[in-house]
Structure 1
């Protein structure tokens, strides 16, 4: 037998990374996906020669600090004639000589992460290191996706849209996931190593990384920092002085870098869409297909009875503990579920926003969308919580001064509507409500509620006799403007009605917490003749709402109508979102790879007062070199324009997204984006 005298080993990262769809990570280190062969080349010193059947050696791959064959974190294997499907293998068809090309194959179910590669011929020679990722292109991998356009969107796309607002006004907000930006992959691997399970048993944790279900749960727990060295601190208080306002973030790259560069100190602050976006970045970086999902009208069911109860006193004040969030954002990950019965593969919901504990840790999911849709609440993980977010019923009561509770008539509050994600390959909104629930009022929906042990009477929708109350709004409700909203009371009875009307507006945050009043009509007596409709305008003025409105720009309108005879309570509630000014982005010149190009950015101040401390923040994967470009533009007067010309150098060809954020003392969380095609 010949001992190979190795001068150097070429891991062929340029060819391998391109073949394995990891070239966006760079070509200077080997990053491959499991279940697909990769090539390495041994260059032997002169006088040393390889000859098939004569030269013998073994390769050793190892992951983690204490690798073991038994746990699958170490594998030793010799030359075979061809690649094996179920174990690590190495083969060659090189002729005799001093250059040996080896084809190394990994099984599609081994742990992902950083591996060392060693050649053993009695004496061990370390050949190098490589990163192994999940492989949505391999039909034997648990994360396999059939359609290439889906893989392009859910694994390779570095930019996306996150939906916010209300059911009546859904707004798309751009986000840079940036999973292939410099340093991101190492930070995502570090995030796995910082999880408490790794600290308590590193080898068992590394072994668990073969399973996307396990990895998704670790990601869900590590994006929040409630019980570990996780990434983000949640804050819904409105006080962000010792950190970054959640609405200011535009990308995951800055957040993950700040966490990793500061010894895993928690990053202040995040809210649901920030938690979800960072989870999406980590999932895509590791090769798990992922999308960010928004649920409009999201219930938080703390006592798991699938019922949200709102209480008001006789003056219309909200005295309830429960709330329905205007929207809530989580992620779906795509994977097989061999741990469950057949039929639950595919999209799985996972929620990294810390709300409830699961197995003692703040994380949620993954739970199959099919289990949510069919009310199979005993399936792993955390099905009851996600089911309630999209299905809980809302009942509203008035608590009378004598303590008696009276159920309110009028409009019901919708829970779990317009469940939204960015469409594949376009900037359209894709409605995926049908994947989470059967159509409202359908026979299947009733059956699911029964299966979910949800027995209370479903509210019937549709026209009711008696008084009908609703709120109407005007089309143009711009931030900075004054405008009217209307209480509308219709009398469908055969008798004239005398009513007491309360109609008020208050600031509200996206998680449903009410703030200051910004418009009020109190104790007005209204006569409504039979068969007639009465309208009552309420003027909302910037001078009243400007100082207290949050960066969510949401105002909640509440109308309470009390009939005098018989004494009955009716209520309508509506949340409006005020329109932002648009950020105009204009490209100056044709963008080409590795050549400087400029973009002109502008925004008109819509407020009747000056904006102080105005600045633009600009980011784009493969455009701004992984950095956030920040420009302070000072003070901008009423109806004046803030302007900034930004210069950047694209580093790769293809479709890229430039994301812009505008912030100031009185106007913040203004986002804009421009899709750019980069040419050679």
Structure 2
């Protein structure tokens, strides 16, 4: 037998494998999942009794997640949230990953081809690409290494005048496109959040489940691997030392089974693409098994000891006096790496995943992990006892404020926004029975997200007299006129109160304060529909006590805008509100976001977004495509009969991108007004909770006694049942034309075509309301063959004779006049 042509069956396989978002003109499939193809032969037909074909395939999938909701979130979801701020004030902003946008897959493959391992041997590199560990290391290194082909650069000394401001990016797609179109030169500039998000895009595009993690209080120390030091002068000013305490830091987690660690099941691996110190001297770290970080098992590759050190460092505050002498201050410190969060599955909230990286502080397991890691990081303590290690750690820590007989803290009195004064309450408590007279120096300065102190803009000194056991509350105010000239893209302010060394013991209390950015309000004025113009209102009010100059509004949204839209708003006076109406035409079905960013001479970004659920437009008689599951009064439990009519529901509440459709015959009196109950077809997603009930023996719903169909055991593919005897069978000439067995039995929603017939009595057995029109929804790739069936099964004058130009997307058969 001689092989002829091979049809890879790309459209169907891409639908089943959830890769149709990339397009269906080429075969893109996922490992560990079956696919079909068709072969034809030249000299003779295939003979099952003689011919045999053997295929050796890799069925094991080291990146498989057995949770459907997590697969939806960590592979298929194109939208995410970045968390920023400080541990006491967490802020968020949307991010568009865009892993299914046009050209992104080719860019991701180009990234692999630009890796060092590819240039050392392309054949060997191709063989290794079935290993997610190898792929993740290549991608991690390419994101922001110090090579000429890395994807993104981080500005040196927070200077980004020669590129795009790091915080103005809204998504990964423009970054990857700029890198690819710029001959693979680094894009200027990014920060840890954008680097981790770009990596998440690439990994999801390549089929590896990934998510972005944010940690608050992340130290970077070049000297002490388990300690970080901040130095202050006598006024409370934070001096720029070698150590930095990042207010937050973002990295990527990817799900994979580590064959190099003999893992049989997948687990989260930590990958940090931000250039930091690593064991191999490269600009990245990982993949590091998250569980090994928690357990302190640092003998496992790669760079686990660096991540453990940063998440478990001891913070120390020092006072530098005029004679260059440094003194430890009395201060209540917080543990580094105290909170780690990521976006929740299927929600806009965040999950606290600190327990994945660390045991509860002070617990037995936490101490055991720390001792184990300490001996690995400090080889000289390999045989040291736990008590010896405890004594060493105690010498590194600051004395507690309570040991000095004074408790003090700074508490926020308001939640300030740009343009507003910062109000604080300074609480002091004397814990002793004798009075205290203290003199404090206070100051405030801007701190960058990565711990670099900026200019000091406010200073004050206060003398406090405390009687025995007395508690005082002192109001503090930092006005906008004081901090406004220094405010830029870094909206974190540090307020410090430190006692005068001449008073004896040196006490210090500090507070990091986030100045909230004014919001951009995005409001959709119409329901977004595919290829139908839609309008949105964008508004912004200047809250500052001064003009905002060079105001630029940028709008973008994959599936909504082919490319970003820029609007020049010019200068906005104080308290002036700018409002603009924009029009766009959605080009992709599904859930999308319209993102808005406003920049001016004072700061790079203020963000706003609105969700946009893009659906098909309604058919000629109000009928809906099968790919939209709605809630219609005449139908059971929100299911959508094929021949129902009604207003298009907002969104797609019953579907997900890997649903399987079930066709259920229902005995429903509502589908035959005025006549006896008829046999009607209802489409439901296979994951719909109603399907599990319907397809169980003895199903008898409480809400409608007539709704009692039996189900075939093969309901996961397509559920065809026999109607109850009490139902009147619909005319076979009409229902035989319905694509019940060919209507996309598995896979995600796809464009459908609605065929409509004229009014005829056969559509309304039993009389009732008389002749009625009838509509049939069909997948677009099936429409041509079904149309021929309809012409053969129904009188030609009962169906229209023309199809709109949008036939392949959502064609509508228009009934003739008087028919």
State the TM-score bracket (shorter-chain normalisation).
Answer: 0.7 to 0.9
1:517-561 Cα distance to aligned partner (Å, 9 max, x none): 221114x43222221133444331222222221313110111112
Instruction: Provide the secondary structure at the position in 2 that maps to 1:546.
Output: helix
Higher mean C-alpha displacement, 461-470 vs 569-578: 461-470
Structure 1 position 206, deviation (Å) = 1.4
Higher mean C-alpha displacement, 436-445 vs 270-279: 436-445
**Structure 1 CA distance, aligned partners of 2:443 and 2:437?**
20
The 5 A counterparts of 1:141-152 are 141-152=61-72
**Structure 2 CA distance, aligned partners of 1:395 and 1:342?**
39
Corresponding residue number in structure 1 for 2:699 = none
| C-alpha contact (below 8 Å) 1:158/1:621 kept by paired residues | no
Q: What TM-score comes out, normalization by structure 2 length? A: 0.70
**Structure 2 CA distance, aligned partners of 1:405 and 1:4?**
82
Corresponding residue number in structure 2 for 1:51 = 46
| C-alpha contact (below 8 Å) 1:497/1:563 kept by paired residues | no
Structure 2 counterpart of 1:17, from 14, 23, 27: 14
1:179-220 Cα distance to aligned partner (Å, 9 max, x none): 000000000000000112111111121112111111111111
Corresponding residue number in structure 2 for 1:498 = 437
Higher mean C-alpha displacement, 317-326 vs 171-180: 317-326
Judging changes above 3 Å, is the alpha-carbon distance between structure 1 residues 495 and 283 closer, same or farther for their aligned structure 2 residues?
same
Instruction: Provide the secondary structure at the position in 2 that maps to 1:38.
Output: coil
| C-alpha contact (below 8 Å) 2:3/2:39 kept by paired residues | no
Corresponding residue number in structure 2 for 1:116 = none
Corresponding residue number in structure 2 for 1:248 = 168
1:429-482 Cα distance to aligned partner (Å, 9 max, x none): 111111110112222212211111173335587955601121122223111112
1:549-595 Cα distance to aligned partner (Å, 9 max, x none): 13131101111124756x21111121101112222111111112222
Structure 1 position 487, deviation (Å) = 3.1
1:131-151 Cα distance to aligned partner (Å, 9 max, x none): xxxxxxxxx211010111000
Higher mean C-alpha displacement, 267-276 vs 233-242: 233-242
RMSD between aligned alpha carbons? 2.2
Instruction: Provide the secondary structure at the position in 1 that maps to 2:37.
Output: strand
Instruction: Provide the secondary structure at the position in 2 that maps to 1:39.
Output: coil
**Structure 2 CA distance, aligned partners of 1:675 and 1:10?**
39
Judging changes above 3 Å, is the alpha-carbon distance between structure 1 residues 260 and 269 closer, same or farther for their aligned structure 2 residues?
same
**Structure 1 CA distance, aligned partners of 2:264 and 2:129?**
23
**Structure 2 CA distance, aligned partners of 1:341 and 1:457?**
35
In the alignment, structure 1 residue 176 sits paired with structure 2 residue 115: no
Unaligned runs of 5+ in 1: 57-77, 89-106, 109-139
**Structure 1 CA distance, aligned partners of 2:609 and 2:252?**
22
Corresponding residue number in structure 2 for 1:134 = none
**Structure 2 CA distance, aligned partners of 1:29 and 1:205?**
23
**Structure 2 CA distance, aligned partners of 1:616 and 1:540?**
30
**Structure 2 CA distance, aligned partners of 1:339 and 1:230?**
27
Judging changes above 3 Å, is the alpha-carbon distance between structure 1 residues 465 and 304 closer, same or farther for their aligned structure 2 residues?
closer
Corresponding residue number in structure 2 for 1:382 = 303
Judging changes above 3 Å, is the alpha-carbon distance between structure 1 residues 315 and 607 closer, same or farther for their aligned structure 2 residues?
closer
| C-alpha contact (below 8 Å) 1:623/1:649 kept by paired residues | yes
Structure 1 position 288, deviation (Å) = 0.5
Structure 2 counterpart of 1:647, from 577, 583, 598: 583
In the alignment, structure 1 residue 668 sits paired with structure 2 residue 604: yes
Corresponding residue number in structure 1 for 2:178 = 258
Structure 1 position 388, deviation (Å) = 1.9
Higher mean C-alpha displacement, 409-418 vs 12-21: 409-418
The 5 A counterparts of 1:528-543 are 528-543=466-481
Structure 1 position 341, deviation (Å) = 4.8
Corresponding residue number in structure 1 for 2:197 = 277
Instruction: Provide the secondary structure at the position in 2 that maps to 1:260.
Output: helix
1:307-364 Cα distance to aligned partner (Å, 9 max, x none): 1122334443434321110000001111111211558840111100111244342111
Instruction: Provide the secondary structure at the position in 2 that maps to 1:457.
Output: helix
| C-alpha contact (below 8 Å) 2:97/2:172 kept by paired residues | yes
| C-alpha contact (below 8 Å) 1:35/1:141 kept by paired residues | yes
The 5 A counterparts of 1:309-320 are 309-319=229-239, 320=241
Judging changes above 3 Å, is the alpha-carbon distance between structure 1 residues 4 and 349 closer, same or farther for their aligned structure 2 residues?
closer
Higher mean C-alpha displacement, 549-558 vs 651-660: 651-660
Judging changes above 3 Å, is the alpha-carbon distance between structure 1 residues 207 and 359 closer, same or farther for their aligned structure 2 residues?
farther
**Structure 2 CA distance, aligned partners of 1:462 and 1:377?**
34
Structure 2 counterpart of 1:572, from 509, 512, 520: 509
| C-alpha contact (below 8 Å) 1:344/1:368 kept by paired residues | no
| C-alpha contact (below 8 Å) 1:4/1:49 kept by paired residues | no
Corresponding residue number in structure 2 for 1:426 = 347
In the alignment, structure 1 residue 487 sits paired with structure 2 residue 426: yes
Judging changes above 3 Å, is the alpha-carbon distance between structure 1 residues 221 and 23 closer, same or farther for their aligned structure 2 residues?
same
In the alignment, structure 1 residue 332 sits paired with structure 2 residue 332: no
In the alignment, structure 1 residue 621 sits paired with structure 2 residue 531: no
Instruction: Provide the secondary structure at the position in 2 that maps to 1:487.
Output: strand
Instruction: Provide the secondary structure at the position in 1 that maps to 2:71.
Output: helix
Corresponding residue number in structure 1 for 2:414 = 475
Corresponding residue number in structure 2 for 1:198 = 118
**Structure 2 CA distance, aligned partners of 1:440 and 1:475?**
30
| C-alpha contact (below 8 Å) 1:480/1:607 kept by paired residues | yes
| C-alpha contact (below 8 Å) 2:222/2:242 kept by paired residues | no
Q: What TM-score comes out, normalization by structure 1 length? A: 0.84
Instruction: Provide the secondary structure at the position in 1 that maps to 2:482.
Output: helix
Instruction: Provide the secondary structure at the position in 1 that maps to 2:393.
Output: coil
Structure 1 position 405, deviation (Å) = 4.0
Instruction: Provide the secondary structure at the position in 2 that maps to 1:410.
Output: coil
Corresponding residue number in structure 1 for 2:690 = none
Instruction: Provide the secondary structure at the position in 2 that maps to 1:668.
Output: coil
Structure 1 position 237, deviation (Å) = 2.7
Judging changes above 3 Å, is the alpha-carbon distance between structure 1 residues 656 and 273 closer, same or farther for their aligned structure 2 residues?
same
Higher mean C-alpha displacement, 373-382 vs 648-657: 648-657
| C-alpha contact (below 8 Å) 1:234/1:268 kept by paired residues | yes
Decide which structure has greater helix share: 2
**Structure 2 CA distance, aligned partners of 1:373 and 1:314?**
38
Structure 1 position 647, deviation (Å) = 2.3
In the alignment, structure 1 residue 3 sits paired with structure 2 residue 2: yes
Structure 2 counterpart of 1:560, from 477, 482, 498: 498
Aligned pairs, number: 597
Corresponding residue number in structure 2 for 1:27 = 24
Structure 1 position 403, deviation (Å) = 5.4
| C-alpha contact (below 8 Å) 1:633/1:644 kept by paired residues | no
Decide which structure has greater strand share: 1
In the alignment, structure 1 residue 612 sits paired with structure 2 residue 607: no
Unaligned runs of 5+ in 2: 376-388, 617-819
Instruction: Provide the secondary structure at the position in 1 that maps to 2:286.
Output: coil
Bigger Cα Rg: 2
| C-alpha contact (below 8 Å) 2:235/2:442 kept by paired residues | no
**Structure 2 CA distance, aligned partners of 1:315 and 1:475?**
25
Which one has more relative contact order, counting CA pairs under 8 Å at least 6 apart?
1
**Structure 2 CA distance, aligned partners of 1:239 and 1:544?**
23
Instruction: Provide the secondary structure at the position in 2 that maps to 1:367.
Output: strand
